[in-house]
Amino acid sequence: MQAKVVIVGSLNMDLVTRAPRLPRAGETLAGQSFVTVPGGKGANQAVAAARLGASVAMIGCVGDDAYGEQLRAALLAEGVDCQAVTAIAGESTGVALIVVDDSSQNAIVIVAGGNGQVSASVVDRFDALLSQADVIICQLEVPMATVGHVLKRGRELGKTVILNPAPASGPLPAEWYAWIDYLIPNESEATALTGVPVDSVATADAAATALLASGVGKVIVTLGEQGALFASQSGSAHFPAPKVKAVDTTAAGDTFVGGFAAALAEGKSEPDAIRFGQIAAALSVTRSGAQPSIPTFNEVQGYQP
């Protein structure tokens, strides 16, 4: 039987424009292309975990509109259990307005729509899914109160609890840290959480030390092409990133989180799960879009540096 990963999080339709560079305030730029692509950090992580070997269920909300139907269909096509993807009457589906520039960097504005309706009572209706999980993953694109509720419930149930604190604008509630087994921020999120400016392996280590002192189990700071910093009470280790030519970094972090979770749930060691997630994320940045860019298990297994 495949390991079970349950994700409580967001589903967005990504409205993606490619432009030579990101626009400045007040500026109108001519874009080169426009596509709509299934995304949302929660749904991206669900697709990543499913493509990368886990049995996955998603808990989230969409609007009762065409985008909501398309996002649900995209997850179903990957074999994700969508019994807990709830369509809210009169609500719009979450969207993300994304600009990707010629250097593969992006800027994203999200409008929550249905994601804002993922309440603790919605989650409680699907408590049986949480009970069956091996690993539970949350991000921060649904209400904070709900995330706290899920982390606490995951800890009560004795599950492996992962928080990808994205997007983060400040410190997390202090009581959350004891409920988290793996906290996985990127540089800017680690900075927002700790106040330590993170832009290198050394500064990531400093931020991770502060997070461990807050009571979190283990920390993985993702650093893009600088790799990842893993830290626990036993010490820290740097994992260099596979070298690839980046086309679009959207959902690279989500691919890492989903891949890491799938590998961990399958019983891989932490170093092997980190390397597996890193290869998956590296392959994802060589392709455009969020969910379409996420590789399969066989692609990751067959990766040659």
User: Annotated active-site positions, please?
Assistant: 254
Q: Between 10 and 203, whose beta carbon lies closer to ligand RIB?
A: 10
Among 44, 160, 191, 293, binds ligand RIB (CB under 6 A): 44
Among 204, 290, 294, 300, binds ligand RIB (CB under 6 A): 290
CA–CA distance, 148 with 144 (Å, rounded to integer):
6
Q: 221 vs 86, 108, 150, 218, 231, CA distance in Å?
A: 32, 21, 22, 10, 8
Q: 267 vs 53, 132, 164, 273, 277, CA distance in Å?
A: 12, 17, 20, 9, 14
CA–CA distance, 288 with 183 (Å, rounded to integer):
27
Query: Per CB under 6 A, does 96 bind ligand RIB?
Result: yes
Q: 146 vs 134, 193, 202, CA distance in Å?
A: 20, 19, 33
- By beta-carbon distance, which residue lies closest to ligand RIB? 39
Task: Return the range that interacts with ligand RIB (CB under 6 A); candidates 10-18, 129-137, 146-154, 276-284.
Answer: 10-18
CA–CA distance, 290 with 11 (Å, rounded to integer):
11
**3-class SS of residue 237:** strand
CB of 86 to ligand RIB, least distance (A): 18
Structure tokens given for 116: 């804002």
Residue 27 labeled ligand binder: no
What mask of x and - would describe binding to ligand RIB in positions 108 to 137, judged by CB under 6 A? x-x---------------------------
Site for ligand RIB in 193-252 (CB under 6 A): 250-251
Distance between first and last Cα of the chain: 31
Query: Per CB under 6 A, does 15 bind ligand RIB?
Result: no
Residue 272 labeled ligand binder: no
Query: Per CB under 6 A, does 14 bind ligand RIB?
Result: yes
Task: Return the range that interacts with ligand RIB (CB under 6 A); candidates 6-14, 148-156, 183-191, 193-201.
Answer: 6-14
Query: Which residues of the chain form contacts with ligand RIB (CB under 6 A)?
Result: 10, 12, 14, 39-41, 44, 96, 108, 110, 141, 250-251, 253-254, 290
Which residues are known binding-site members for K(+)? Answer: 248, 250, 284, 287, 289, 293
